[in-house]
Chain A
């Protein structure tokens, strides 16, 4: 059984990553976008960094906290927007976690980031077909997926560099071992 103090320490660590995600989402909120639901996905950076630091339950908690925190800060927690956020985050977290655990040998964080973004975007497109646009959702699919591809490559490169050079990441990894 894990001692309670250690559990609290892990929860604090997850809360820190979730807070970092929240911080990045507020940074992203300030960047003007041509269409409201088009996102860069900066807030996914802690999810990419967390892949090597968290077990599956902790990772699910981080993904949930990301959605809830963003919903609370932007005030959208009880609106349709949170459905998009939840769908996108859960699907991308699932794909990224599976790829990291079972395909790390063949995939870099850039590849994982692209897979996560595509999973998130496809889920959100399906949701927008169901909730907002009906079959007309296919019209927004090409620009949505292209923007997702470009931003996920940038995010993946950033995550890869961060994991390689960060003293904080190294220390967190050492604590785990």
Chain B
């Protein structure tokens, strides 16, 4: 099994632990864990989109008051239940996003005919990216795109069958690391479910 596929399966096993988490503190820790995981595997963290997501989801939930009243801004009530629900949802979405980032680091290969077509798609994607750099002038844009597509069609693509041959590489260390990640994420879920983590 390729290293990238180990990460893919780890993510699939850990997904329910994030989706089922209903402890706000637990989901926050899980989100932090997968963000670090994605960052240490070459992915970038962009603060602004995450902040916008968190603010927009939380404020949307405030429109439906729920639970203890924290403060009123004019006639608008800010309730603890609504705020926690919004935050939990936002953290779940962020955690899933970064888990997904981690799962596809190293480009996993999908099985079957669809997997081969996806490989072929990426083969052409590389060709388009490098071909586009070589095209001059790039204006008018339609003419440049047309030239690019003509060049690519004329090139004989590698056979579908020869693309995406999976290299069987067993990486014990990677496997152990990923078992640890799974245990941590499920452990945080259990700590939340058993009310060992604070509920805020």
Residues on A lying within 8 angstroms of B by beta carbon are 8, 11-12, 14-16, 18-20, 22-23, 26, 35-36, 61, 64-65, 68-69, 71-73, 75-82, 131-137, 158, 161-162, 165-169, 171-172
**B36: CB under 8 A from chain A?**
no
Given A20-B128, A133-B60, do A162 and B145 touch, yes or no (CB 8 Å)?
A: yes
Of residues 66 through 118 on chain B, the ones whose CB sits less than 8 Å from some CB of chain A are: 89, 93, 96-97, 99-105, 107, 114, 117-118
A165 to B89, CA, bound (A): 48
Mask for B139-159, Cβ within 8 A of A = 1, else 0? 000110110011011000101
Q: Which residue of B lies closest to A170 (CB)?
A: B146
Given A135-B63, A165-B142, do A15 and B100 touch, yes or no (CB 8 Å)?
A: no
Report A-chain residues with C-beta under 8 Å of the C-beta of B104: 71-72, 75, 77-78
Q: Which residue of B lies closest to A68 (CB)?
A: B118
A65 to B124, CA, bound (A): 13
A168 to B43, CA, bound (A): 37
Residue from B56, B96, B153 in contact with A133 in the complex, judged by beta carbons closer than 8 Å: B56
| Nearest CB on B from A137, distance (A) | 8
Q: Which residue of A lies closest to B131 (CB)?
A: A23
Asked if residues A76 and B100 are in contact (CB atoms below 8 Å), the reply is yes
Report B-chain residues with C-beta under 8 Å of the C-beta of A172: 153
Q: Which residue of B lies closest to A13 (CB)?
A: B153
Residue from B38, B99, B118, B160 in contact with A69 in the complex, judged by beta carbons closer than 8 Å: B118
22 contacts between A and B (CB under 8 A): A11-B120, A12-B120, A18-B121, A19-B123, A23-B128, A35-B52, A36-B53, A65-B121, A69-B125, A71-B100, A71-B104, A72-B107, A73-B125, A75-B97, A75-B102, A79-B96, A80-B97, A82-B100, A132-B89, A162-B142, A165-B142, A165-B146
Report B-chain residues with C-beta under 8 Å of the C-beta of A161: 142
Asked if residues A22 and B103 are in contact (CB atoms below 8 Å), the reply is no
Residue among B52, B99, B118, B124 with the highest chain A CB neighbour number at 10 A? B124
Report B-chain residues with C-beta under 8 Å of the C-beta of A20: 124, 128, 149
A23 to B124, CA, bound (A): 10
Residue among A79, A161, A171 with the highest chain B CB neighbour number at 10 A? A79
Asked if residues B63 and A166 are in contact (CB atoms below 8 Å), the reply is no
Residue from B11, B105, B118 in contact with A65 in the complex, judged by beta carbons closer than 8 Å: B118
